[in-house]
């Protein structure tokens, strides 16, 4: 069982701060699952740009959407965001 955390606008779209998820082997599969669950609004918010962390590490510094998800991993999903 992995833990998925949503941030910023994704919380309004999903109505959740976090959820548990089972039986996904990588980030691509996780996203597919979430797109089916939360629909086009969710997809549009993060499809082009996003920040996805697995245990605090950006998937772009790991294996991108192929990054594996294991039991007890924590996945943080952000829409594009910045500040300073």
Partner 1 sequence: MYGYWGKILRVNLSTGEIKTEEFGEDFVKKWLGTRGFGIHYLLKEMDSKVDPLSEENKMIFSTGALTGTTAPTGGRYMVITKSPLTGYIAMANSGGFFGAELKMAGWDAIIVEGKSNKPVYLRIEDDKVEIKDASHVWGKRVGETERILTEEFGDKHVQIASIGPAGENLVKFAAIMNNGHRAAGRGGVGAVMGSKKLKAIVVRGHKRVEVIDRSKFISVVREKTEKLKNDPVAGSGLPSFGTAVLVNIINQNGLYPTMNFRYGQFKYAEEQSGEAMAKKYLKRNKPCYACPIGCGRVNDMDTVGETEGPEYESTWAMGANLGINDLASIIEANHLCDDLGLDTISTGGTLATAMELYDKGLLKQDDLGDAPPFRWGNTEVLHYYISKLAKREGFGDVLAEGGYRLAEKYGCVDCFMGVKKQELPAYDPRGAEGHGLGYATDNRGGDHIKAYLISPEILGYPYKMDPHDISDEKVKMLILFQDLTAVIDAAGMCVFTTFGLGADDYRDLLNAAFGFNLSTEEWLKIGEKIWNAERLFNLKAGLKPLEEDTLPKRLTDEPMPEGPNKGHVVRLKEMVPRYYALRGWNEDGSISEAKLKELGLEEYI
Are 6 and 17 in contact by the 8 Å Cβ rule? The answer is yes
Only one of the segments 25-33, 35-43, 45-53, 65-73 lies at the binding site for partner 1 (rule: CB under 8 A); that segment is: 45-53
Using CA atoms, how far residue 31 sits from 21, 42, 83, 84, in Å, is 11, 10, 25, 28
26 binds partner 1 (CB under 8 A): no
Q: Based on the shown chain and the rule CB under 8 A, indicate whether residue 68 belongs to the binding site for partner 1.
A: no
Q: Is 39 in the site for partner 1 (CB under 8 A)?
A: no
- How many residues touch partner 1 under the rule CB under 8 A: the total is 23
Of 20, 22, 40, 48, the residue at the interface with partner 1 (CB under 8 A) is: 48
Q: How far is CA 20 from CA 6, 9, 52, 75, 82, in A?
A: 11, 19, 16, 10, 27
- For residues 30 and 24, is the Cβ–Cβ distance under 8 A? yes
- Residues in touch with partner 1 (CB under 8 A): 5, 7-9, 11, 48-49, 51, 53, 55-58, 60-61, 76, 78-84
């Amino acid at each position: 069982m992995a833990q998925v955390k949503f941030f910023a606008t994704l919380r309004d779209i999903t109505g959740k701060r976090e959820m548990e998820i089972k039986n996904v082997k990588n980030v691509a599969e996780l996203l597919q699952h979430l797109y089916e669950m939360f629909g086009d609004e969710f997809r549009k918010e993060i499809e082009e740009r996003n920040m996805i962390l697995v245990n605090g590490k950006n998937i772009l510094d790991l294996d991108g959407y192929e990054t594996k998800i294991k039991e007890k991993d924590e996945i943080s999903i952000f829409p594009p965001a910045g500040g300073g």
